[in-house]
Amino acid sequence: MNDYSVVQVTEAELEELVKLAPGKIEEGMKFIAHQVQTERGPLDVLLLDSEKALVVAELKVVEDDGMLIQGLDYYDYVQRNLSAFALAYHKHGVDASKEPRLFLVAPSFSTTLRNRARWLNLPLSLFTFQCIELEAPAKQRIVVYSEIALDETPPPYEAPTLDGHLAYMASDSLRELVRRLVREAGSWSGEATFEPRKKYVAVRRSNHYMGQIYCHKSKFVVAGLDKTGKWVWHGVKGEEDFQGAVDLFKSSFDQVGA
């Protein structure tokens, strides 16, 4: 077995290694050009994938969050001038109908860069690398690449709804009691309004905050101002507790409207 060591390389050396063996990054990848001039400066390496789409490769030999913006600038230039690039490199068979891709190649990527990258709506791939130098029979450098999977973006934000809170409750009878409370308070002169939040439903009269509803599996809890002006809580497990919730909300409703 050959002896080897992990060695550091300069960006120019990494660029040359990518140029010599682009297929080690991705099968079927071919080298087209390097240090291609753009409005942002010279992009490191321009490649062509197996589907004939252009690939902008931004290379760094240290972890660098700025490479994402730099790579995007190069990608933007290539995207805006795709027809010109296809014409300039026509002998390589560039397909101008294919969306270009962006590769970032570095020893490592920060959590910050990975978090930002996952929100980008373009074909972006991140590759870490190590440069290995074989000692025998003759010194030879080989780059080993590893693609980094980006976390999926969270699902779109959905605003809380009253129905969403009610769905958490275990019984239809409890859900109906909450709906009755909402209908009754909504019928009072001046009207109470209900604003679903993440963990509770806020209750207001005009611009005044007057109470809350918390929906649990086997009960719901209301909060409001009692007749002394003290903030109190009242739990409802069934019909027998319902009037107490109505009375508490009516007390709070009258006080904030006074």
CATH number of the CATH domain containing 16: 3.40.1350.10
CB atoms within 10 A of CB 39: 10
Q: What are phi and psi of 100, to 5 degrees?
A: -60, 160
Place of tokens 């959590």: 111
DSSP code of 52? S
Same domain, 172 and 144: no
**CA-CA distance, 257 to 252, in Å (whole number)?**
9
pTM: 0.65
What total number of domains does the chain contain? 2
CA angle 127, 130, 132 (to 5 degrees): 145
User: Two tokens at 239?
Assistant: 């019909």
Q: What are phi and psi of 200, to 5 degrees?
A: -160, 175
Same domain, 38 and 64: yes
**CA-CA distance, 252 to 246, in Å (whole number)?**
10
Look at residue 189 and tell me if it is in a domain: yes
**Which residues lie across from 124 on neighbouring strands?**
102
Same domain, 22 and 142: yes
Same domain, 126 and 171: no
Same domain, 19 and 139: yes
Look at residue 154 and tell me if it is in a domain: no
User: Two tokens at 253?
Assistant: 């409703």
Residuewise pLDDT in 10s, the chain (258 residues): 557 788 888 899 999 999 999 999 999 999 999 999 998 899 999 999 999 999 999 999 999 999 999 999 999 999 999 999 999 999 999 999 999 999 999 999 999 999 999 999 899 999 999 988 887 666 788 889 999 998 887 777 788 999 999 999 999 999 999 999 999 998 887 788 899 999 999 999 988 899 999 999 999 999 999 999 899 999 999 999 999 999 999 999 998 875
